[in-house]
Structure 1
Amino acid sequence: MDALTAELIKLKRSLAWPIVIGLPVVLVLAGAATQLADGTTPEDGWDTVWLQSVGFYGLFPLAVGIAVLGSLVWRVEHRGSNWNALMSSPASSLRIVVAKAAVIAGLTALMQIILYLSVLAIGKLAFSLEGMPDSQHLSITALLVVATVPAAVLQSGLSMLMRSFAVPIAVALLASGFSTAALMVAGNAALVSPYGLATRTALLGTGSFVDEGTITGGDVAAILIAAALGTVVLVLCTTAVLEHRDTRV
């Protein structure tokens, strides 16, 4: 059986789905909670709803969500003799790494789509906003799907190496904090961090924290280049590590 197909089958009973759906929905509701309680309408319409949703989400909940997904996807391999069974399969180390990372990245992508749909739903159903969100918000969602791939690969690698469910999540929480600080000091140079890359993209165009409020072609190009290079480098590094961990005694 193909490595990716096997991973997709495992998702049927995975606990990842509550994270994929619940995390963005809860954060969108939390962002709108004050106005919902006061019965007021967002001052700048869709822009306000979007900022309230992604402003906090991009700082560390996004990274933590990816980390939880990584731990859940790898959890089964750390039980019993499953690791040795995995490594004795016909699939190469590269295929295993790519399959695991692809599943985590795919779940993360769905999380971004659900975030956008949640913003749309809260704006229409709770605030009765006219029209649709600005096309910029949809573009940022698509860009965020790409920009979170390196973080998905990195968290996959950490969860591969660590049997602990919680430690990779703690690493993501701490690293996202350091990366946000690095973004504030070094700007786009901090995009070398997968967590910084995810945060920078989520806050793009919001004018909050690490963002100046304008989206330039240079920013988008930097994000795409960092995402592509980060993904390739992390996949190769994770594969090299896995090649030296054939079995566990």
Structure 2
Amino acid sequence: MRMLIRAEGMKLQWSVILALIILDTLINSAMGAMQLQSLRDFFPPSWTTLYIHSVNLHSMFFFPLYSGIVASLLCLYEHRDGGWKITMSMPIPRSRIFYAKYIVLIGILALVQLVFLLGYVATGFLVDAPGEIPWKTLLYSVIGGWIGVFPLAALQLIVSIRVRSFGASLAMSLGYVVPNIVLTGFHSAIGAWLPFTIPYYVMMPQAAIYAPRVEPYSLWSIVLLTGIVYLLFGKRFIEKRDWL
């Protein structure tokens, strides 16, 4: 399994992935800093306010979108010149190939969250945000958002394996994410069944005026259930499909 994970990592276009991660951090940190100043009459400046401004677009748009982009990049090599036939002919269980890609995917998404957090902290010191850093909120939001994206990562990996065209796979990822503007307005007990909304439900602090209505027990139950379902479906899909 370790060799498969290493092989998946070697096939990735790391320059593209790192550029996307840095772009996400720069955009959201800049937006947080600008809104901290421009909206100071409505939202008193603080570390928490800065985080609310910074995490809004990250959790609603960039983070779930990057899940789809990285999943597509993980399957790009196999979609070229009959790569799936070669991969599936190896003397290893097909399910391990799926799980190796999935582990690499969620590992990269963990890196996205870490860099976003570092960018937020650096921005807070640069703008001299008042008060104390809300570490408890940050750790729950960043780690919880990463765990909350697990079902979406599994679903988008299945789609990326199924769809040969990178452009089509990317368009589908965009199609999932754009409706978040509306769908995240529903209560989490309803909206969380759509996995691309979960990062926003988890990461947006409830202290925010425009925070979604979240019931933690039902939210995490949905995350667990859908995560298991998508992983099992992905395992069955890759095992049963005729790759020849």
Compute the TM-score of the two structures, normalised by the length of structure 1. 0.84
State yes or no: 1:222 paired with 2:226. Answer: no
Residues 196 and 240 (structure 1), Cα distance of their counterparts in 2 relative to 1, 3 Å cut: same
Q: Structure 1: where are the runs of 5+ without partners?
A: none
Q: Distance in 1 between matches of 2:100 and 2:172?
A: 22
Q: Distance in 2 between matches of 1:138 and 1:190?
A: 23
Structure 1 residues 163-172 or 69-78, which shifts more? 163-172
Preserved contact between residue 71 and residue 165 of structure 1 (Cα < 8 Å): yes
Deviation readout 1:185-235 (Å, 9 max, x if unpaired): 4542221211121221122425354525xx7xxx33333322222221111
Preserved contact between residue 64 and residue 173 of structure 1 (Cα < 8 Å): yes
Pairing 1:61-140 to 2, within 5 Å after superposition: 61-127=62-128, 129=130, 131-140=132-141
Deviation readout 1:25-48 (Å, 9 max, x if unpaired): 3222233235579999x8331111
Q: Distance in 2 between matches of 1:70 and 1:236?
A: 17
Preserved contact between residue 11 and residue 77 of structure 2 (Cα < 8 Å): no
Residues 125 and 155 (structure 1), Cα distance of their counterparts in 2 relative to 1, 3 Å cut: same
C-alpha deviation, 1:13, in angstroms? 4.5
Preserved contact between residue 116 and residue 141 of structure 1 (Cα < 8 Å): yes
Preserved contact between residue 101 and residue 153 of structure 1 (Cα < 8 Å): yes
Preserved contact between residue 36 and residue 45 of structure 2 (Cα < 8 Å): no
Q: Distance in 2 between matches of 1:130 and 1:84?
A: 57
Q: Distance in 2 between matches of 1:38 and 1:19?
A: 28
Match of residue 148 from structure 1: 149
Aligned residue for 1:99, secondary structure, equals helix
State yes or no: 1:175 paired with 2:176. Answer: yes
Aligned residue for 1:102, secondary structure, equals helix
What do you get for the CA RMSD once the two structures are aligned? 2.7
C-alpha deviation, 1:108, in angstroms? 0.8
Preserved contact between residue 3 and residue 91 of structure 1 (Cα < 8 Å): no
Which amino acid is the alignment partner of residue 171 of structure 1?
M
Preserved contact between residue 50 and residue 129 of structure 2 (Cα < 8 Å): no
Aligned residue for 2:134, secondary structure, equals coil
C-alpha deviation, 1:80, in angstroms? 1.3
Match of residue 166 from structure 1: 167
Q: Distance in 1 between matches of 2:192 and 2:111?
A: 22
Match of residue 53 from structure 2: 52
Structure 1 residues 53-62 or 172-181, which shifts more? 172-181
C-alpha deviation, 1:247, in angstroms? 2.1
C-alpha deviation, 1:124, in angstroms? 0.6
Q: Distance in 1 between matches of 2:58 and 2:124?
A: 17
C-alpha deviation, 1:3, in angstroms? 2.2
Pairing 1:194-205 to 2, within 5 Å after superposition: 194-205=195-206
Compute the TM-score of the two structures, normalised by the length of structure 2. 0.86
Match of residue 241 from structure 2: 245
Match of residue 20 from structure 1: 21
Q: Structure 2: where are the runs of 5+ without partners?
A: none
Preserved contact between residue 197 and residue 226 of structure 1 (Cα < 8 Å): no
Preserved contact between residue 35 and residue 53 of structure 2 (Cα < 8 Å): no
Q: Distance in 2 between matches of 1:86 and 1:71?
A: 16
Structure 1 residues 99-108 or 179-188, which shifts more? 179-188
Q: Give the total of aligned pairs.
A: 242
Residues 206 and 131 (structure 1), Cα distance of their counterparts in 2 relative to 1, 3 Å cut: closer
Preserved contact between residue 124 and residue 130 of structure 1 (Cα < 8 Å): no
Preserved contact between residue 25 and residue 116 of structure 2 (Cα < 8 Å): yes
